[in-house]
């Protein structure tokens, strides 16, 4: 019998996503309340679906230019001015398969094997996975729950081989929005240490109080910013995002993108054009729904004495379940005893050992049922 040749250490050693792990543990039993995925509950707005359908019926679906059709890059450049408050030329925009694709390109642009990259803990785990694929070393900086899950850049331990820091505001998994002076402090620390700042701004339009500050408003020379159509327009399955970077970075990145995905999906890019031209009025409605869900969740945890902080953006809340035990154990009991799926904080690093992340992208009814189940475990 011939044995199979070995697989790479990369595929055998990359940790599994803790979000997928709890979802797999829950399986597809009927009647579960799903609060694990950061996925909008709404349909993609109708003008976007219609434009995509029309493109499929009328156009040849072909490869597009690697960084995206110029018309879409121009529309994105206008959006950056209108929504994010800064000027970036269309040549600075790189359209990618999801924000996750943009983040990978940003990291690939600056990390050599053996370099270090600073990442938030708790943070969206894909960034660490991407760093490992690039054979770089993730070094984590803490987000302090006692300080609303904000970082303290002046306290960061930055190794000499560090090339970049990734920040994420509005943040997953916490919903924190960094105030402007914090973004400025981060930019100053990055400048002192010669770091790029890779700013994950995929939740840029989902905020409830103060508008987030883009890194490009503060320090455009050493900045890259990651955006997505997934969250703003309920388009997770369309897989479209974009990177904004200095034009000298975008240009050579085309060779990297050419090697791994050639171009983003043409139908998704046609849909994205419609999102930017004809679906603007849907966004405030969706954000208002997330705000109602955030308010509901915060008022429930307050009522039960479980309040820790108020998320100001994205659509997540970290709930302290320390009274019931370690987060992973509580997450499993929540599934088996209560039929509710939430993600243990350990899926996002080492700092959140006692929290569960619930997604506020779920319906109000599911949020209420899920939080009541958590309360019963914590206080029962």
Residues that bind ligand PLP (CB under 6 A): 38, 98-100, 124, 168, 172, 200, 202, 228, 230, 236, 241
Residue closest to ligand PLP, measured at CB: 98
Q: Cβ of residue 237: shortest distance to ligand PLP, in angstroms?
A: 9
Q: What sign does the CA torsion over 26, 323, 344, 297 have?
A: positive
Q: What are phi and psi of 64, to 5 degrees?
A: -110, 175
Q: Cβ of residue 101: shortest distance to ligand PLP, in angstroms?
A: 7
Measured from the CB atom, the residue of 64 and 168 that comes closer to ligand PLP is 168
Pairing label, strands 162-168, 196-200: parallel
Measured from the CB atom, the residue of 69 and 173 that comes closer to ligand PLP is 173
Tokens 């999102």: give the residue: 275
Q: Does residue 165 sit in helix, strand or coil? A: strand
- List, in sequence order, every residue forming a beta bridge with 162; answer none if it has no partner: 116
Q: Are 18 and 348 in contact (CB under 8 A)?
A: yes
Measured from the CB atom, the residue of 20 and 188 that comes closer to ligand PLP is 20
Which pair of tokens denotes residue 309?
Answer: 């902080």
Name residues whose C-beta falls within 8 Å of residue 20's C-beta, 6 or more positions apart in sequence: none
- List, in sequence order, every residue forming a beta bridge with 224; answer none if it has no partner: 198
Measured from the CB atom, the residue of 321 and 343 that comes closer to ligand PLP is 343
The CA distances from residue 216 to 11, 121, 171, 187, 194, in Å, are: 35, 23, 17, 10, 17
Peptide bond connecting 113 to the previous residue in cis, omega within 30 degrees of 0: no
Q: Cβ of residue 19: shortest distance to ligand PLP, in angstroms?
A: 9
Q: Cβ of residue 95: shortest distance to ligand PLP, in angstroms?
A: 12
DSSP state of 33: E
Q: Are 44 and 235 in contact (CB under 8 A)?
A: yes
What span, in angstroms and rounded, lies between the C-alpha atoms of 326 and 336? 16
Q: Cβ of residue 134: shortest distance to ligand PLP, in angstroms?
A: 17
Q: Cβ of residue 3: shortest distance to ligand PLP, in angstroms?
A: 37
Q: Cβ of residue 305: shortest distance to ligand PLP, in angstroms?
A: 29
């Amino acid at each position: 019998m011939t044995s199979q040749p070995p697989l790479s250490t990369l595929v055998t050693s990359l940790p599994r996503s803790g979000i997928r792990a709890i979802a797999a543990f829950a399986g597809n039993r009927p009647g579960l309340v799903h609060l694990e995925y950061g996925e909008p509950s709404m349909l993609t707005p109708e003008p976007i679906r219609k434009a995509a359908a029309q493109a499929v019926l009328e156009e040849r679906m072909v490869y597009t230019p690697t960084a995206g059709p110029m018309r879409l890059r121009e529309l994105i450049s206008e959006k950056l001015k209108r929504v994010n408050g800064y000027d970036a030329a269309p040549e600075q925009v790189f359209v990618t398969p999801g924000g996750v694709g943009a983040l990978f390109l940003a990291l690939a642009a600056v990390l050599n094997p053996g370099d270090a990259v600073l990442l938030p803990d708790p943070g969206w785990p894909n960034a660490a996975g991407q760093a490992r694929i690039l054979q770089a070393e993730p070094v984590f900086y803490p987000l302090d729950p006692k300080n609303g899950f904000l970082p303290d850049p002046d306290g960061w331990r930055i190794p000499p081989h560090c090339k970049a820091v990734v920040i994420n505001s509005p943040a997953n998994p916490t919903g924190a929005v960094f105030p402007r002076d914090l973004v400025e402090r981060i930019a100053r620390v990055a400048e002192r240490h010669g770091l790029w700042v890779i700013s994950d701004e995929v939740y840029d339009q989902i905020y409830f109080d103060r508008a987030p500050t883009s890194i490009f408003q503060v320090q455009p020379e050493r900045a890259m910013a990651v955006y997505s159509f997934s969250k703003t327009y309920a388009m997770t399955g369309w897989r479209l995002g974009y990177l904004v970077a200095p034009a000298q970075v975008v240009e050579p990145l085309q060779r990297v993108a050419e090697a791994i995905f050639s171009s983003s999906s043409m139908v998704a890019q046609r849909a994205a054009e419609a999102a930017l031209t004809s679906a603007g009025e849907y966004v405030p409605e969706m954000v208002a729904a997330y705000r109602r869900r955030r308010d509901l969740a915060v008022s429930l945890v307050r009522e039960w004495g479980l309040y820790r902080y108020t998320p100001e953006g994205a659509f997540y809340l970290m709930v302290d379940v320390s009274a019931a035990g370690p987060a992973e154990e509580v997450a499993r009991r929540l599934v088996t005893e209560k039929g509710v799926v939430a993600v243990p904080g350990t899926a996002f690093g080492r700092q959140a050992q006692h929290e569960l992340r619930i997604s506020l992208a779920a319906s109000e009814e599911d949020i209420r049922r899920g939080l009541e189940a958590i309360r019963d475990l914590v206080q029962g």
